[in-house]
Amino acid sequence: MANQPDVISVGDIVTDVFIKLEDDQAKVYTDSEQHNWLAMPFGTKLPYDTVETIKGVGNAANAAVAFARLGLASAYAANVGDDSIGREMIDALHSNQVDSRFVRINPGKISNVHYVLRYQVERTILIKHEAYEYHWPHLRPDEIPKWIYLSSVSQHAMAYHDQIADWLDQNPQVKMAFQPGTFQMEAGVERLKRIYAHSDVIIVNREEATKITNGNWEDYHDLLNRLHGLGAKIAVITDGPNGAVASDQNQILKMPLYPDPAPPLERTGAGDAFASTFVAALIRGNNIAGALQWAPINSMNVVQHVGAQEGLLNEAQIEQFLAKAPDSYRPEPL
């Protein structure tokens, strides 16, 4: 693998344990505030359907694998524990052609494991991020990437963002895509204003855009303008069954979903697939119209599989889906 990556994905890496619940052993109810709750009998033993362990996942890890599948020189910067789970995650990266030289093994620490409760097509994820010491790697001149893809890191890593922002100040030729995770959104725009200011691309869903910007959920234009105001040169908002919208400050385009060939099997990783594929298309020289045509296809295929990575496609496969897309599958001005 060449020394210089096209893109370094940055964020926490985890092993996911998927537990599929029996349909008749749980149910979902909606409370008075319209929040959905997964309910199971308490204080008893419940049979489950299947269990599946998927190593080396997480928002940024999923992106790193997507980039590699799409033919980019993909590297990854993350932390693992000094345990067998951590070593297996590094092996999983290698098996997916992801360069792991910037993955740091933390002596005496354990690796991140999340538990995913699958019920019908939705999932609830039990998460815990271990408290690592986060350090931005010292990159030699021939290791400096064209792009950084920053996504979810733990609440223990706020100073890490300052290190990344300092490095981007020193390397202004490097572009950055930001797909904020839970703790990054909770930290707030003011704490991460330098990261937002450095973002060539920000990709969030509609609820996240509203939370981050305090904008009007009903108004795509308002949300996109506010994301641009934080620093994003390109702003993208995904909106579930409504597709996605993207703005490069010259035009705003709306893109529908790619039709599902079968009912979704499991939705983990759909957002990661969309975001990373959109960015991969930009890295490959596409404009936002081209990127919007690639991204939903990878997202569609991921939900046909369990886990976030098995369904990720290569460029030829995306082009095959694009060739047989319905006429309605095209970006339109918003």
Burial class (CB in 10 A: 0-12, 13-18, 19+), 16: buried
Residue given tokens 């052609």 in the structure block: 97
Q: Which candidate, 216, 235, 153, 164, places its Cα nearest to that of 187? A: 153
- Residue that is written with structure tokens 């937002």 in the block: 196
* C-alpha span between 77 and 84 (Å, rounded): 19
pLDDT in tens, 163-180: 999 999 999 999 999 999
Q: Which conformational region is residue 118 in: left (phi greater than 0), alpha (psi within -120 to 50 degrees), or beta?
A: beta
Q: In this structure, are residues 270 and 276 in contact, taking their beta carbons and an 8 Å threshold?
A: no
Q: Cα 264–281–306 angle (5° rounding)?
A: 25
| Phi-psi category of residue 198: left, alpha or beta, with phi > 0 → left and psi -120 to 50 → alpha | alpha
CB 309 within 8 A of CB 54: yes
* 232, 202 Cβ separation under 8 angstroms: yes
Residue 243 has pLDDT above 60, yes or no: yes
Q: Does 319 score more than 70 pLDDT?
A: yes
Query: 36-46: per-residue pLDDT in tens?
Result: 999 999 999 99
Q: Distance between CA atoms of 114 and 170, rounded to whole angstroms?
A: 35
Q: How far apart are CA 191 and CA 185, in angstroms?
A: 10
**CB-based contacts of 191: which residues, under 8 Å, 6+ apart?**
158, 161
What is the C-alpha separation between 240 and 242, in angstroms, rounded?
5
CB 236 within 8 A of CB 246: yes
- Which domains are present in the chain? 7-12+57-112+131-333 (3.40.1190.20)
pTM score, whole prediction: 0.93
pLDDT digits (tens, 9 = 90+) for 10-68: 999 999 999 999 999 999 999 999 999 999 999 999 999 999 999 999 999 999 999 99
- Mean pLDDT, rounded, for 267-282: 95
Residues in the chain, how many?
334
Look at residue 306 in the predicted model and tell me its pLDDT.
Answer: 84
The tokens of 311 are what? 């369904």
**Pair of tokens at residue 318:** 């995306």
Mean pLDDT of 264-284: 93
- What residues pair up with 106 in beta bridges, in sequence order? 81
* Residue 131 one-letter amino acid: A
Give the pLDDT of residue 1: 47
